[in-house]
Amino acid sequence: MVGPRPAEAAARRAVRSAVHDLGPGAFVLVACSGGADSLALAAATAFVASRDGLRAGAVVVDHGLQHGSAEVAAVAAAQCSALGLDPVEVRRVEVTGAGGLEAAARRARYAVLDDVAHRTGAAAVLLGHTLDDQAESVLLGLARGSGARSLAGMAAVRGTYRRPFLGLRRTDTEDVCTANGLAWWTDPTNGAPDVAPSQGPVRSQGATPVASAADPGGPATLPAVALPLRSQVRARVLPVLEDVLGPGVAVTLARTADLLREDADLLDELAGRLLDDARVVEPADAGPRPRVAPVVLDTEVLRSAPAALRRRALRRAAAEAGSPAGSLFASHVAALDAMITDWRGQGPAHLPGDLRALRTRGRLFLRPARTPSPERTVPAETPAEPAQE
C-alpha cells in the first residue's frame, strides 16, 4: 500500500500536534475559505479526527465581496462535508465599518468564527495560515515600523484559535489538496498571475470555474498595484527577496517571528508589571462615574524604568484609558514618554479616542478630554512638582 505523500504526512503531524492536548470526543472547527491552505487543513483534520477520536466540523464565511462568492462558499462546504467534517456551516456576513475592506472582512469573519465556536462548544478553531503567510506578516510589520510585537507575526495558539500549518509551505498545502483530489479556490485578490478578479472564482486542479464573469466583456488582469498590500507582498516583494537573498528567505523571516515573539512576550509581561507598579489608585470622587476610569500613573516609577518597558507600559495605559486598538502611533507614545523623561512643563498630549494625557504633581493622568482637570481631584497635600526635574 502506498503511504501518504510527505506533505500530507507533515500536515497530519502538524494537526495532530496542534490538538494533542484535547480530550477524546472534543470538537474542533476548521475555518475553511476553500483556498488551498484551509482545504488541506480540512483534509488533515478530518484524517486526524477519525483516527484520534475527535469530532471535527467546518465553517465557511461568505464575505459577499466578489462575484460568485456564494458558490465558492458552497463548493468549499461540500468539499468539507465530503471529507467527513460535520457539521459544516456556511455563513454570509455583511462587511462594513472603519479601517478598510480587508480589516472589515477580517472583523466580520472572526465575529462569525467566535459565534460558531461558542455555539458548537468547539475546543479549538483551526486556521490555515502557513509559513509563507507568516513571512508576509513579518515583512508587513517591518514596513510599518511598529516594533517587536508586530514583527513577531502570528502566534500558533491564541485563545481558542490555533494555526497548525505555520511550519508548512504553501506548496505543501497544494500538494495535500492534489493528493486528496481537492480543487482549491484561488482568490484573485491574492495576486495570482493572469487572474482577472471580476471574472469570478477560479479553481485550480483543472476544475471548472463555478461562476460566470461579472463583466462578460472580459476585464483586464488586476494590476499588481491595485492588489491589497498583503497580496502585493506575496506576489511582488517576496519573489524579489527570494531572488536576491535566496529561496530560504521566507523560512528565515518566519524564524525571526518565532524569536521575536518570545522576546515580545517577555517584554509585554514585564511592562504589565511596571504598569501595575506605577498605577495610582485615585479615591473615588463624588461626581458621576466616567465611562472609562482614568488611568493615573506615578511618573517617578516610570522614569526609573528601562525605555523598552516604559514605552510599552505607556502604550498599554493609553489602551486601558480608551484609545482604540491599533490607533496609537509611535508619535503618541513618544509624546507620552516625553512627559516622563523630558518634562519641561509641556501641555497635555492628545491621544486617539479623544483622550488627553496631562502631567501634574508627579502623576500622569490619561482620561477622556472632556473630564474635569485632574488638579481638582489630586489631594491638596500632594507636593507641587517643579516644571524641570
Ligand X SMILES: Nc1ncnc2c1ncn2[C@@H]1O[C@H](COP(=O)(O)OP(=O)(O)OP(=O)(O)O)[C@@H](O)[C@H]1O
Q: Is residue 109 part of the contact set for ligand X (CB under 6 A)?
A: yes
Kindly list the distances between the CA atom of residue 302 and the CA atoms of 84, 216, 267, in Å, as whole numbers in the listed order: 56, 63, 15
The reply, when asked if residue 37 is annotated as ligand binding, is yes
The reply, when asked if residue 38 is annotated as ligand binding, is yes
Nearest distance, CB of residue 268 and ligand X, angstroms: 24
Residues 61-80 interacting with ligand X (rule: CB under 6 A): 61, 63
Contacts of 201 (CB under 8 A, 6+ apart): 66, 68, 69, 71, 72, 185, 209, 210, 211
Nearest distance, CB of residue 8 and ligand X, angstroms: 16
For residue 276, the one-letter residue type is D
CB atoms near residue 143 (< 10 Å): 12
Cell of 149: 510585537
Nearer to ligand X, 63 or 67 (CB): 63
Nearer to ligand X, 127 or 222 (CB): 127
The reply, when asked if residue 23 is annotated as ligand binding, is no
**SS3 of 188-218:** HHHCCCCCCHHHCCEECCCCCCCCCCCCCCC
Nearer to ligand X, 95 or 330 (CB): 95
- Which of 83, 21, 96 lies closest to 57 in space, CA to CA? 83
- C-alpha R_g of the chain: 25
Nearer to ligand X, 12 or 129 (CB): 129
Distance of CA 362 to the CA centre of its chain: 37
Q: Which of 15, 28, 29, 38 binds ligand X (CB under 6 A)?
A: 38
Q: Is residue 32 part of the contact set for ligand X (CB under 6 A)?
A: yes
Residues 348-387 interacting with ligand X (rule: CB under 6 A): none
Nearer to ligand X, 148 or 168 (CB): 168
Strands (E), 41-150: 55-62, 88-92, 124-126
Nearest distance, CB of residue 25 and ligand X, angstroms: 23
Nearer to ligand X, 71 or 187 (CB): 187
- Which of 185, 198, 201 lies closest to 226 in space, CA to CA? 198
Q: Which of 133, 172, 174, 175 binds ligand X (CB under 6 A)?
A: 133
The reply, when asked if residue 150 is annotated as ligand binding, is no
For residue 335, the one-letter residue type is A
Q: Which of 129, 316, 359, 367 binds ligand X (CB under 6 A)?
A: 129
Kindly list the distances between the CA atom of residue 2 and the CA atoms of 5, 6, 114, in Å, as whole numbers in the listed order: 9, 12, 39
Q: Which of 128, 153, 362, 374 binds ligand X (CB under 6 A)?
A: 128
Cell of 389: 526635574
Print the binding letters for residues 161-200 with ligand X: x by CB under 6 A, - otherwise: --------------------------x--x----------
Rule CB under 6 A: which residues touch ligand X? 31-33, 35-38, 59-61, 63, 109, 127-129, 133, 187, 190
Annotated binding site for ATP: which residue ranges?
A: 33-38
